[in-house]
């Protein structure tokens, strides 16, 4: 699942992940929609933007980690926010990977594939 408040960026990323990595993707454009989607559908990994209006990616990650079914769901943070304090916080909250927005899609593919291969 790709979570990005920018539908254009999210759609492009989902399309690239599908084409370049062979990963089935579903796009949601808000934190609230992300939590609803994972409650109703099986999800293997989440590519999550941090800076979103309303519920931020930080809050989505907190709630995912608090849920019984989602506490170990692999999460790749894909964000332009690369301040050390933000990266420390996402690690503390349990995100397994961080990829800077604007990175080549191959970096995101590698991050998702690493998560899927890690027991």
pLDDT on residue 21:
77
pLDDT on residue 114:
75
- Model-level pTM? 0.89
Number of separate domains in the chain: 1
Has residue 86 got a pLDDT over 70?
Answer: yes
Report the CATH number at residue 86. Answer: 3.40.50.2300
pLDDT range class, residue 117, cuts 50, 70, 90? low
pLDDT on residue 109:
82
Domain enclosing residue 54, as ranges: 2-117
pLDDT range class, residue 118, cuts 50, 70, 90? low
C-alpha 111 chain-centroid distance: 11
DSSP secondary structure, 27-86, as one string: EE-SHHHHHHHHHHS--S-EEE-S--SSS-HHHHHHHHHHSTTTTT--EEEEES---HHH
Has residue 62 got a pLDDT over 90?
Answer: yes
Non-local CB neighbours of 112 within 8 Å, separated by 6+ positions: 17, 21, 23, 45, 47, 74, 76, 97
DSSP 23: -
pLDDT on residue 44:
87
- Indicate the average pLDDT of the chain: 90
Work out the average pLDDT over 2-30.
Answer: 90
């Amino acid at each position: 699942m790709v979570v990005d408040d920018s539908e254009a960026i999210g759609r492009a990323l989902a399309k690239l992940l599908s084409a370049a990595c062979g990963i089935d993707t579903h796009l949601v454009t808000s934190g609230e929609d992300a939590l609803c989607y994972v409650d109703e559908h099986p999800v293997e990994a989440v590519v999550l933007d941090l800076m979103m209006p309303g519920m931020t990616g930080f809050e989505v990650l907190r709630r995912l980690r608090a849920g019984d079914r989602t506490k170990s769901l692999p999460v790749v943070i894909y964000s332009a926010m690369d301040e050390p304090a933000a990266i420390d916080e996402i690690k503390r909250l349990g995100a397994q990977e961080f990829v800077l927005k604007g990175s080549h899609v191959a970096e995101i593919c590698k991050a998702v594939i690493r998560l899927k291969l890690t027991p």
